[in-house]
């Protein structure tokens, strides 16, 4: 499998959002008292959480993943030689569309007024690192929108290269950082914030 094997210790650099004044300190896991499934009511039935009493705040989420590719596929990607065209540009637009369509795909997500979506697709030695940053000013976070943006970009990139490499692999999809709301800031423990 050589060229398709990813290095799990490497992750894309994540812009660490500046904490708002008076916010909770950064932490990698919620405190034990906050660990509950909020999308279930007291009987265990699924529900959309009522966020009407939450304050409107700036919220930012960063998610990422990697698409592992063979050297020959990376050469085609870099040279613009893929049969379907500019794969990185198409994947970037797809990621933005994915963020905007999240409540249509994930049933209990609230439709949110997204104020910004950035997709960074960086070609590396063994694949493409994808980082999605989503922003809103609202009553609930945009973690699912960031994850959906990264996943949609990765799926689109796979679609663009599958004609030359069917065994391309999407790996390491996860939330890298978030800011805003009651839970404050989260930064994944193994992510190095930029200087």
Rounded to two decimals, the pTM is 0.78
Confidence class for position 29, pLDDT limits 50, 70, 90: low
Question: From CA 62, how far away is CA 146, in angstroms rounded?
Answer: 6
Query: Which CB contacts under 8 angstroms, 24+ apart, belong to 35-40?
Result: 39/108
Task: Report the catalytic residues.
Answer: 159
Specify the range with the lowest mean pLDDT, choosing from 84-88, 144-148, 151-155, 180-184. Answer: 180-184
Give yes or no for a contact between 185 and 178, defined as CB atoms under 8 angstroms apart. Answer: yes
H or E element at residue 179: strand 169-179
Give yes or no for a contact between 74 and 157, defined as CB atoms under 8 angstroms apart. Answer: no
pLDDT tens for residues 85-121? Answer: 899 999 999 999 999 999 999 988 999 999 999 999 9
Question: From CA 36, how far away is CA 73, in angstroms rounded?
Answer: 43
User: In the sheet where 169-179 sits, what is the strand order?
Assistant: 114-124, 127-138, 57-68, 169-179, 186-187
């Amino acid at each position: 499998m050589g060229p398709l094997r990813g290095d799990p210790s490497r992750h894309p650099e994540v812009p660490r959002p500046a904490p708002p004044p008076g916010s909770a300190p950064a932490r990698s896991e919620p405190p034990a008292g906050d660990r509950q499934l909020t999308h279930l009511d007291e009987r265990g039935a699924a529900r959309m959480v009522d966020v009407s009493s939450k304050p409107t705040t700036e919220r930012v989420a960063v998610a990422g993943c990697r698409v592992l590719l063979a050297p020959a596929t990376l050469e085609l990607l870099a040279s613009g030689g893929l049969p379907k065209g500019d794969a990185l540009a198409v994947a970037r637009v797809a990621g933005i569309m994915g963020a905007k369509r999240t409540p249509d795909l994930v049933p209990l997500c609230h439709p949110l007024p997204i104020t910004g979506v950035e997709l960074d697709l960086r070609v590396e030695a063994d694949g493409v690192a994808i980082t999605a940053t989503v922003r809103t000013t609202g009553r609930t976070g945009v973690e699912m929108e960031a994850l959906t943006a990264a996943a949609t970009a990765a799926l689109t990139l796979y679609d663009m290269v599958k004609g030359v490499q069917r065994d391309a692999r999407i790996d390491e999809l996860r939330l890298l950082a978030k800011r805003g709301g009651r839970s404050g800031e989260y930064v994944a423990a193994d992510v190095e914030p930029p200087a």
